[in-house]
Amino acid sequence: MKTSRLQAAQRWREIMIALFIVLTLCALAGKVYLTFFKEEEWWGNVCLLFGLVFSVVIATFLAYNDQKRDWEKKVANAKTVTGIVQRVSVEVATPSNFATFYIYLRGDSKLYRLSRNISDELPSTREGDRVRVKYVEGKDETIYFDNLDLSPTPPTSTACPERQ
């Protein structure tokens, strides 16, 4: 019986959660051991430290895994639009964030809000440029931008003269 990639990922997540619980209990047991059995303090310290450190590592892994899964869902549901820029404006950046660009495409009433960290081509984009935008519907979030007029064109093949 084959398991799908999603089922395998879910099973891995369940194992990690169980391990997180076991390690947290290990940390608690170490604390209890330290409280009641003071003659061998090192064993309680080892349990406490081991449980705490690895609980934090697993919690971080689970959070990263959740963010990765959310990003994959977002990209899978994204819509792509290609059009000509009708209007572009920029909101000045502050030291704490990137500049934000606002773009209207010809024949499209949607306002695309793009953060400067999405593409290096944004500052060079002008009215009349052909662009491709990928966004998540309903979330006002643009995840990809490409200025097709600035993209390099492949060179035409020219025959090299033979050496004599």
d(CA 32, CA 23): 14
Contact (CB, 8 A) for 147 and 121: yes
Phi-psi region of 128 (alpha: psi -120 to 50; beta: other; left: phi over 0): left
Q: Which amino acid is at 11?
A: R
Domain assignment of residue 20, yes or no: yes
d(CA 29, CA 41): 12
* 57-73 per-position pLDDT tens digit: 777 777 777 777 777 77
Mean pLDDT (the chain) is: 75
Same domain as 129, residue 105: yes
Domain carrying residue 37? 5-76
* 44-59 per-position pLDDT tens digit: 666 667 777 777 777 7
Same domain as 91, residue 137: yes
Whether the pTM exceeds 0.85: the reply is no
